[in-house]
Amino acid sequence: MRTEAIADMLRREDIDALVCARGGFGAARLIPYLSEVGPLPHKPFMGFSDITVLLLSWLRSGGPQPVWGPMVAVSLGDDAPPRAVELGRRALRGDLGGAELIGPDDHAQSMVSGTVEAEVVGGTLCLCSESIGTPYELDCKERILLLEDQNEDLYRIDRYLMHLRLAGKLDDACGFILGRTFVGDDVTGFARSLDELLADYLAPLGKPVLANVPTGHAEYCLPIPFGVPVRMAVGGSPSEHRLTVLGGRSLALSSPA
């Protein structure tokens, strides 16, 4: 079984971290079996997209250190700037303590200015929404909520965001990080643009919102550790934005919820 293979690799002394090859679908099929493999060591486990469900599950149960970050088949190609590649390497070494994850060249944008210190949680929007009611349900109480997706219709994004709002998840979060690839090429047939839609849901909350971040399905994927305190400062220009991992070399996971 895939769960046993993952557990075996995490337990091997000659393996310090695991990075997923790709996303796709089917990761949720592993969830019922994760409890059967027993305790797993606290090693970095990195991926995004469909891997969202595994990252959320381990954030709740403990074990591997979940890192939202690049995968082998995507986001590690020639389009990734050297700084992003180096951050990915540091993430796999468990060496992101003190790292500045966002730089001026990443062209992140401010939706709501402000500063907050908290852990990050989240992932691909549709999977965060669908996690509600499951054992790995998104828990963003007093956390920064990361949301991104790709090639979605605007009406579906509206549906996912409304689901998160009605479940209290947007109110629970203390800030937001937004990716830059939510929609596909065809954005006709909806009354609002993507920016207007996101602002409708998030701006009235008055919490810091850093948008257009190159992570997840973007042209390159900046790694962001989950369950580790960061300081997010959203200013008036790209040179003022900061996303800093707090603490030293050891990225200790917080106690499971």
Cβ proximity of 245 and 96 under 8 Å: yes
Q: Among the options 110, 131, 217, 241, which is catalytic?
A: 217
First-to-last alpha carbon distance for the chain, in angstroms, is: 27
148 is catalytic: yes
Query: How buried is residue 140: exposed, middle or buried, by Cβ count under 10 Å (0-12/13-18/19+)?
Result: buried
217 is catalytic: yes
Cβ proximity of 177 and 144 under 8 Å: yes
Q: How far is CA 146 from CA 39, 51, 68, in A?
A: 27, 14, 10
Q: Backbone phi, then psi, for 77, in 5-degree steps? A: -90, -160
Q: Among the options 49, 57, 110, 131, which is catalytic?
A: 49
Dist. CA 14–CA 201, nearest whole Å: 46
Q: Among the options 110, 131, 148, 152, which is catalytic?
A: 148
Number of alpha carbons in the 13 Å side-chain half-sphere of residue 155? 5
DSSP H or E segment with residue 60 = helix 52-61
Which tokens is 20 given? 């997923």
49 is catalytic: yes
Residues with catalytic roles = 49, 148, 217
